Amino acid sequence: MTLPVVFIMISNHFPNTFAHQMNWMILVAIILIGATVRHFFNLKNKGHLNIWILPIATAAIFALIFVTKPASTVSNSPDKVSFGTEHIPFALVRTILDQRCLSCHSATPTDDVFRIAPKGIMFDSDKKIQSLASLIKTQTVTTIAMPLGNKTGITPEERIILGRWIEEGASLE
Ligand code: HEC
């Protein structure tokens, strides 16, 4: 269990594992692969060198990475939003971020846990939002890591709106 436990401790940085629909399966796979690698070393320490175990474990890790690769929710569900090809106004994006993100990501957070903006990420100014557009997409659209634990109750439609705005070029118009 050593290697899986190390991974679990740092897993909050890997939203494509814990925020995945099949997160428990991913955890099981990581435990099995970690135990397999450990088994290789246990055998090796006893003087039995099994040359097959490590390549198999490596192939399994790559297969897992491929299977859990985030698929963009925007391109997956173009029909869910009634905006069609209409331009997404920045004012709408601003409202979504104000409601769903600023309780943590602001110079003066109102969240009961996060008293300082996590990782220094703040969405107080329009220019700042624009410069962070690609990070917003990774965290909120491509993966559903943010808002953390969806504490602020963002809807799937709002995620799609954010993604569409960024795909359109993240303009402040
Ligand atoms: C309940 C508090 C909370 C809310 C609400 C929240 N976040 Fe976060 N956010 C965090 C925490 C905590 C981290 C640091 C996570 C880490 O250490 O990997 C973070 C990190 C981030 C990062 C940086 C990720 C990185 O690894 O560089 C971005 C970008 C981000 N959040 C965007 C958003 C967006 C966009 C929203 C709203 C849709 C949002 N967050 C809502 C708590 C929150």
pLDDT tens-digit map of 99-138:
999 999 999 999 999 999 999 999 999 999 999 999 999 8
pLDDT at 76: 47
Q: Indicate the burial class of 153 (C-beta count within 10 angstroms; 0-12, 13-18, 19 or more).
A: exposed
The CA-to-CA distance between both ends of the chain, in Å, stands at 52
Measured from CB, residues less than 6 Å from any atom of ligand 1 are: 12-13, 100-101, 103-105, 111, 114, 118-119, 121, 135-136, 139-140, 146-148, 151-152, 154
Q: Looking at ligand 1, which residue's alpha carbon is closest to its atom 42? A: 148
More confident residue, 145 or 122: 122
Higher pLDDT, 80 or 129: 129
Distances (CA, A) of 65 to 4, 26, 62, 106: 15, 10, 5, 33
Q: Per-residue confidence at 79, pLDDT binned at 50, 70, 90?
A: very low
Query: pLDDT tens digits for 64-77?
Result: 988 887 665 554 44
Instruction: Compute, in angstroms, the gap from residue 9 CA to the centroid of ligand 1.
Output: 18
What pLDDT is stored for residue 116 in this prediction?
A: 95
Q: State yes or no: pLDDT of 29 exceeds 60.
A: yes
- Please tell me the distance between residue 32's alpha carbon and the centre of ligand 1 in angstroms: 30
The tokens for 119 are 């990782």
Ligand 1 centroid distance, CA of 148 (Å): 6
Spacing, Cα 120 to ligand 1 middle (Å)? 10
pLDDT tens profile 8-19: 999 887 877 887
Token look-up 């474990």 returns 57
Q: What is the pLDDT of residue 85?
A: 66
Average pLDDT, whole number, for the chain?
89
Mutate to test the pocket of ligand 1, among 99, 128, 137, 139 (most ligand atoms within 8 A of CB): 139
